[in-house]
Amino acid sequence: MRIALRTLVQTALSLALMLTLAPAPTRAQSYNEVVYDALRWQNVGPSRGGRSTAVAGSDARPLEFYFGATGGGLWKTTDGGSNWSVMTDGKITSSSVGAVAVCEADPDVVYIGTGETQIRGNIMQGDGAYKSTDGGTTWQHIGLRETQNISRIRIHPEDCDVAWAAAFGVHSADNSERGVFKTTDGGESWDLSLFKSAKAGATDLVLDPNNPDVLYATIWEAWRKSWGMSSGGNDSGLWKSSDGGDTWRDITSRLGLEPAGPIGKMGVAVSGANSDRVWVLVEHEPGGGVFRSDDAGESWQRVNDERKLRQRAFYYTRIYADPQDEDVVYALNTGLYRSNDGGETFPAAINVPHGDNHDLWISATDPDRMINSNDGGGNVSVNGGETWTDQEYPTAQFYRVITTNHEPYHICGAQQDNSTACTPSSGWNHLSAAGGFGGGGHFYSVGGCESGYIAPHPEDLDVFYAGCYGGSLSRYDHGTGFSRAVNVWPENPMGESAEDIRERVQWTYPIVFDKHDSGILYTGTHKVWRTTTEGQSWQQISPDLTRNDASTVGPSGGPITRDQTGVETYATVFAISPSPHDPNVIWVGSDDGYLHITRDARAASPSWANVTPPDAPDFVRINTIEASPITPGKAYVAGIRYLVDNDRSPYVWKTEDYGQSWTKIVNGIPADDFIRAVREDPERPGLLYAASERTVYISWDDGANWQTLTMNLPVVQVSDLVVEDHDLVISTHGRAFWVMRDIDVLRQMNPGVETSDFWLFEPRDPVRRFDNTADVFYYLPSEAGQVLVEFADANGNVLSSHMSLPAADSADAEEDDASPGGGGFGGSGGGAARPSRSEGSNRFRWNMRLEGWTDFEGRIFWAAGNQGPAVVPGRYQVRLTVDGETQTQDFEIRMNPRASAEGVTLADLQERFDLTVRIRDRVTEAHEAVLRIRSIKGQVDERLEENDNTELASLGATVNERLGEVEGEIYQVRNRSNQDPLNYPIKLNNKIAALQNLVQGPESRPTDQSYEVFEVLSSALELELEQMTLIFQQDLARLNELLRQLGLEPIDAERLIT
């Protein structure tokens, strides 16, 4: 049996901490966020774009573009796509932007519509429309909330208050808030001007570029449910308005589709060069294709029937006219296609950075300037699609998150329409997930593909099992790069209905290791499977554990175009959670609403009990099961049902008796914010975290009450979350990975915190080199007069002291949440940071170093920074003194495990520290000498200005000249800019400081030659200091004697320049 060592250690620690951290179970608990809101979410990337379905630009501002990220908000560039900024964080209450439009008359006026209408299996709803009048800096909600999904917004080119919105409506149910809406007062009110039926909504809308009173709209009858989708029906159609959208006429019949039958999705475009020329891309069998009208929609001819423009029609079906050439038209599908002959042929796809294209905006004044959106985000071209900007922004959509047993741990997930990705959580500088724009850093693929779970091996850290749609399952060795397919049933089911597939496997199916034996791996089809041979063979250990309702396993796609990718494969096992306490206990949930448990999993043929909560509605997807890491027999279940009759209710249950009884625990969660996952903190019983469609929630009382843990997290779908050591890690479906560090603050919350005079939380134990700072959190119920933070060794000797600024100076100097504090991440000395005196939750960051050397203004160095000596691993204290009252907490700086693996000992690091201190002190001596010399030279010049005595002038010049020679040997006085040392060789102070940089760079014992060089440089410095003292005793003494005789103030040799 192979057991993960870290799992055993964590379990033991958890059991010990239960005795000290467990709250009283009889009292409901909630806390004011102000007590802990210094905690922050950190986006750790990767900076790799995710799906976008909406783009816009401005003719008036050629470098300004927008794209709407599906689940990631609205992004803007003002430099042609080189740099992007998110514009909606904290300003709107929907994460998904499905439509964006810029007013031609005033490009500061921008409208956006939320939700998405490419009705895939993982889809997000919106909450209406928003408007900005300052280029996206601020936003106002302007209605249409119940439409949920807006596909297009168009603005009158001369009147920014007149706009139209094409609303698809609710995905999974009929609703009346759908069709084309019009406003004439900037969104204050809307009129529903085109409504076909409660089951068909508007999906495309265009204005005649030459006459905004003429509009064309397409209506689409379609729905998406958990088990499938349907595109097409008798209510789909093409409509035209000639009076600004006040009235509409159905012109569908003019297309001449034969035979008559259901019509699917349609896209429409009008030529800016010729208003009579209109194109429609139609989903229909057998008569679908590109239709062209040359009389403004009165008659049509089909000019192209290529399937490459109509494949997977529900996801694409977009067509765009060139604004200046009536023969040029673009069609979007997996590729971006261009026709130069009026739509008759689309010979080749334009090369774009990513596939699956959804939107295109073309400048009316310069058709070579355009922005395209696809499943990788938005990208700009200024040469007609020859080249495009990159998609380096953190809008990735991840389905799940898992962490590894690396030190530091890695964060892994599968990104929609991309690959799996793992990234280090911290440390390693250039590999750091914390580096780069919005995170970024280094990431690597681990097999599988865009859709699946990832199961990192608990012991062999190079090995990953990763899933993909169609039941694909790979075993990947990151060390060798070798990948092997180990599918449970390696028969590709692409295009088949669930009822026809032997082993029904969902798009995102579970893959999990046993919690007791790392040689056992579980996965699910509609049954549970186990391998003990690394996938060489699989054993079925359950029967069908799903509802398998016949109405949910038939064909998907609708009456025209089937779409069966694996998302639609239903009645499958969707969640597996082995118990960390009993190897015989496994919990299993299905996507169609069943929950099972076995208590004899190690048997040859385990038995299973249906323990579905009795109040669980039909077809609720059991999205996540959390077997309690603390309490045997206890589990938490999160279910979602938003694609069944638009049921957005939160479903969370807990059991404490192996599923014999259940309690629903959703108090405090809004009725329309459904929950995707719940996790229990492994160190504090009953401390729960929940991932919702909009944010993260926390409960301190085992789910009896919930409150948000949003902080600085934008509104975003949180698809999953895990607790890893001292961190809470989340995956999002639109903003990549985020981490909240130092959740020990949450673990330590108790009623005494809020009622205290002030509170110092126990710091977590940082790991040298992985953690750049030791973070200290404290709570002040009101603004303090003075705050002192001190760090001391285990014997109480103060190493670093930090005093808050006086009230008059503190307004501009409070520590910023984004600043590294404590002198920075390996930056200047520890004395640079100032603790905050502010009311509420505060954080102070110590860089785990002593203060750096004394410095002087204008100093130029090569290969040396003013970093104080890094303290050695061991026990330390932090003391917080608030207005004379002191609290103390202990913590440990832990040794870098990689250094230990290389044979580095604590004694080695102590030697490194001792030498670094000696070097630092020697640099300080050198700099104090420079400061004294400059002070004396300045005083001499002042005296010479006060008296014109010739002897005084001669003696003063001698003193300054001789001291200048010493200064020049200590410091290269000719250096004035950073690369001057290439011309003027560095001197003693730089050489000594550079040695410090080398010695404290690696975590190891200093080399013998480091000591030797230090002694050589130190001796050379000592000679210069002795020479300086001799000048003081001789030349300066004679000068001071003369000054006294002349009645002038002597030179103060001890005064330093400040």
Tell me the residue type at 490: P
Q: How far is CA 770 from CA 461, 737, 847, in A?
A: 18, 18, 12
Q: Map out the domains of the chain as residue ranges.
A: 54-381, 760-894, 906-1045
pLDDT grade, residue 626 (50/70/90)?
Answer: very high
**What is the pairing mode between strands 718-724 and 727-732?**
antiparallel
Range 760-894: architecture per CATH: Sandwich (2.60)
Summarised one tens digit per residue, pLDDT across range 233-288 is 999 999 999 999 999 999 999 999 988 889 999 999 999 999 999 999 999 999 99
Q: What whole-number distance in Å separates Cα of residue 554 and Cα of residue 557?
A: 10
pLDDT at 384 over 70: yes
pLDDT grade, residue 895 (50/70/90)?
Answer: very high
Question: Looking at residue 29, what is its pLDDT?
Answer: 83
DSSP line for 910-951: HHHHHHHHHHHHHHHHHHHHHHHHHHHHHHHHHHHHH---HH
Range from 358-367, 570-579, 896-905 carrying the lowest mean pLDDT: 896-905
pLDDT at 822 over 50: no
Q: Is 27 exposed, middle or buried (0-12, 13-18, 19+ CB in 10 A)?
A: exposed
Q: What whole-number distance in Å separates Cα of residue 396 and Cα of residue 51?
A: 7
Summarised one tens digit per residue, pLDDT across range 628-687 is 999 999 999 999 999 999 999 999 999 999 999 999 999 999 999 999 999 999 999 999
Token code pair at residue 461? 């850290």
Summarised one tens digit per residue, pLDDT across range 737-792 is 999 999 999 999 999 999 999 999 999 999 987 778 999 999 999 999 999 999 99
Please, which contacts does 277-280 make with residues 24 or more away whose CB atoms are closer than 8 Å?
277/321, 277/326, 277/342, 278/216, 279/319, 279/321, 279/329, 279/343, 280/218, 280/238, 280/255, 280/319
Question: Looking at residue 440, what is its pLDDT?
Answer: 52
Q: How far is CA 553 from CA 24, 231, 510, 519, 651, in A?
A: 48, 17, 20, 34, 24
Q: What whole-number distance in Å separates Cα of residue 626 and Cα of residue 907?
A: 43
Q: What whole-number distance in Å separates Cα of residue 642 and Cα of residue 1024?
A: 78
For residues 202 and 152, is the Cβ–Cβ distance under 8 A? yes
Sign of CA dihedral 737, 743, 747, 749: negative
Residue ranges of the alpha helices (H) in 513-587? none
Q: How far is CA 370 from CA 51, 213, 360, in A?
A: 18, 25, 7
- The CATH code belonging to domain 54-381 is 2.130.10.10
Q: What are phi and psi of 374, to 5 degrees?
A: -155, -170
C-alpha 451, offset from chain centre: 18
CB-side neighbour CA atoms (13 Å) of 701: 18
pLDDT grade, residue 348 (50/70/90)?
Answer: confident
Q: What does the pLDDT average to over 52-80?
A: 98
- DSSP state letter for 146: G
Q: What whole-number distance in Å separates Cα of residue 606 and Cα of residue 584?
A: 9
Question: Looking at residue 8, what is its pLDDT?
Answer: 38
Q: What does the pLDDT average to over 485-489?
A: 98
Question: Looking at residue 6, what is its pLDDT?
Answer: 40
C-alpha 633, offset from chain centre: 34
pLDDT at 389 over 50: yes
For residues 589 and 573, is the Cβ–Cβ distance under 8 A? yes
Task: Output the average pLDDT for the chain.
Answer: 93
